A and B are shown apart, each in its own frame.
Chain A
Amino acid sequence: MPSSKTQVDISEAFSRVRQRFERSLPDRADAMLALALDQKTGNELSQLKAEAHKLAGASGTFGYAILGNLARKIEQLVVDILALPPELRALKIPELNKQLFVFKQTVSQVLGSSEPFASSDAKLKAEQRDIWLMLDNTQLLTELSTQLQAFGHKVQQISNFEGCIKRLQTENPALLFSQVKQSDGADLFKQSLLLNLLQQRQCPLLVFSEQDDFSLRIKAAQQHADDFFVQPLDVSNMISRISELLEQAAGSKGRVYIVDDDLMLAEHYQLVLQNIGIETQINTQPQKIVDELIYFQPDLILMDMYMPHYNGAELAGVIRQYPQLRRLPIVFLSSEQNKSVQNRALAHGADDFVTKPIDDLQLAQAVTVRLARSLQIKNLIEKDSLTGLIKHSAIKEAAELEYERSERSGKPLSIVMLDIDKFKLVNDTYGHATGDVVITALATLLRKRIRKTDRAGRYGGEEFMLVLPDCDAKQAQQLTMKILENFVILHFNTARQPFTCTFSAGVASTADQAFENAEQLIKNADEALYRAKRAGRNQVC
């Protein structure tokens, strides 16, 4: 027997080395850049070549194929530069600097994929911009302002179009919620300057109308309004829509996984897509495609149709053999014009074709459109209509995926189960509509408080689940306590009297004990939840 160390010891040892490597990456990226920017002794390029070479080898070994490829590109570029006569080298330095910047950015991207919890409070405040409300209906205006403020949004009331345009010159609102009217001569949809300014600022526009009117809806669509609300306004639904829009604006525009045997081309697609805010990963080996997909969790696959070892249709066939990947849209990139060949590939599980050659702008547009549609469909399938959180089956799936990832990365995974206290009493006393408001409120709080990499789902009626990768039990407990503190101060207004609610929560983490699978981890969190209930509710166990 080779060793007395257990599998766990070994994977822990690997993960310690990997963490050390990860910690060294930002400094190493900076050091390379410094070498390129500050060439004094003439020896800097050789040092840079050696460092890029090392990073090319090491990055891949630690699972960062993207960084490995970039480092290799940098190494090759330095080799090319060194081969030039000294007086010509300066011409190539800008290109080198650019590559080094890309490397540095990619480092912070791959490392930043799980941001620390400590920052999320500060982030919340720094990123918070005002919501502008432009409504004639004063009763609605007051109600909306109060509710939005309860969720921590800052609200500004805007009285007319002129004021709005003036303020848009110097201010940058998070979104504009405006009333529209059919009869009004000074209607919002005639304010082309205002609408232009909003578009320039990429500021979402939500419109509200007292009548549901098709021609107004068409105008709203023409002006790229993000949503159309009709009297009577469902305030809780609208607030969760606003939160969703704000999260979208702040977050990633989706993830695309690129499969192309031509690495240069794949890296080019990657740059184009990264430029428009899409996260990407390039397949390193066809054999690793399923592992990498499970790890990266893309929203779309962009795949070359013809590759030397396995063609696109074959790989799509393999991907479709895995239940958790069955819904993932696959877009083929191909110079194939023959419709029958295209149809055959579609029959094998591809969803769409993009014809090569394609210029950068076309690629960006083609992917953006398909990605947006894919995310919409995913939302419809996965998300609970009341809360906008993912549904029972999807959150369980997320827990399983994250469990697999945590097994591989060695980073802890925590699961939190939350249940609103005495919810039946709320329903019985104030009615189901009010009960729904409470549920939506907690859902919105959960979404606002968690990191980009975390998932929140509605597990059952009034039961919720959080999946928190790279998070130990203590951090999970602190986060949940914070959410509880925020939840208990919310006042729910009813015709009878305002009331408040509490919840109980249970935490389980792979940092504390070993679990055989995600199900056990969930069960453990459930047991902790029941301990919290038995101990008197309104607490986290």
Chain B
Amino acid sequence: MTLQRVMHVEDDESIRAVAEIALTDVAGFTLLSCDSGQSALAQAEAFAPQLILLDVMMPQMDGLQTMAALLQLPSLKNTPVVFMTAKIQQSEKQRYLDVGAIGIIEKPFEPMELGDTLSELYQQHITS
């Protein structure tokens, strides 16, 4: 099974716009782009993503809180999560992996490669 449906949660409008082009026009995914954890929660079940791409630092609900809330939804409980964040330390990275994220993408990211990176992470996840 290949990656097709991706949900992206990010409060920065410009990053959302770049990711949207990268994931739809370049990678050919079906994308749901949300500007907050709350909005993601409201739409997630109906959209049924195969993978969730989450910004770490957002106002109100941050990435970790959003992840926890999303995975509590019954139909989403096994959905893999990838975090996206500005340069971080190794210990912090480990923390995200420990809570169950399958990967971390560092900002700045290369838009032309974002789709491929997610696909690879997704393949590794479902075959492991």
Residues on A lying within 8 angstroms of B by beta carbon are: 1-3, 5, 9-10, 13-14, 17, 20-21, 24, 50, 53-54, 56-62, 65, 68, 72, 75
A residues less than 8 Å from B12 (CB atoms): 54, 57-58
B25 touches A58 (CB 8 A): no
Q: Given A2-B26, A10-B26, A58-B107: A72 and B86 within 8 A (CB)?
A: yes
The one of B25, B85, B107 in contact with A10, judged by C-beta atoms closer than 8 angstroms, is: B25
B residues less than 8 Å from A56 (CB atoms): 86-87, 107
**Which applies to chain B's interface (DSSP): helix, strand, loop or mixed?**
mixed
Which residues of B from 83 to 106 have beta carbons under 8 Å from A? 84-87
B residues less than 8 Å from A10 (CB atoms): 21, 25-26
CA distance A21 to B17 in the complex (A): 10
* Smallest CB gap from B22: residue in A: A14
CA distance A338 to B51 in the complex (A): 55
Q: Given A53-B57, A57-B85, A57-B107: A13 and B28 within 8 A (CB)?
A: no
The one of A13, A14, A68 in contact with B108, judged by C-beta atoms closer than 8 angstroms, is: A68
A14 touches B107 (CB 8 A): no
* Smallest CB gap from A21: residue in B: B14
Shortest CB distance B37–A (Å)? 14
B residues less than 8 Å from A1 (CB atoms): 28
Q: Given A17-B18, A58-B14: A53 and B25 within 8 A (CB)?
A: no
CA distance A75 to B88 in the complex (A): 12
CA distance A337 to B69 in the complex (A): 59
B28 touches A14 (CB 8 A): no
A residues less than 8 Å from B9 (CB atoms): none
The one of B17, B85, B107, B109 in contact with A17, judged by C-beta atoms closer than 8 angstroms, is: B17
B residues less than 8 Å from A54 (CB atoms): 11-12, 15, 57
Shortest CB distance B53–A (Å)? 13
B residues less than 8 Å from A2 (CB atoms): 26-28, 115
B111 touches A13 (CB 8 A): no
* Smallest CB gap from A55: residue in B: B12
The one of A3, A14, A24, A68 in contact with B18, judged by C-beta atoms closer than 8 angstroms, is: A14
A residues less than 8 Å from B38 (CB atoms): none
B21-34: CB near A (< 8 Å → 1, else 0) gives: 10011111000000
The one of A3, A20, A68 in contact with B17, judged by C-beta atoms closer than 8 angstroms, is: A20
A17 touches B14 (CB 8 A): yes
The one of A3, A50, A61, A75 in contact with B15, judged by C-beta atoms closer than 8 angstroms, is: A61
CA distance A9 to B21 in the complex (A): 10
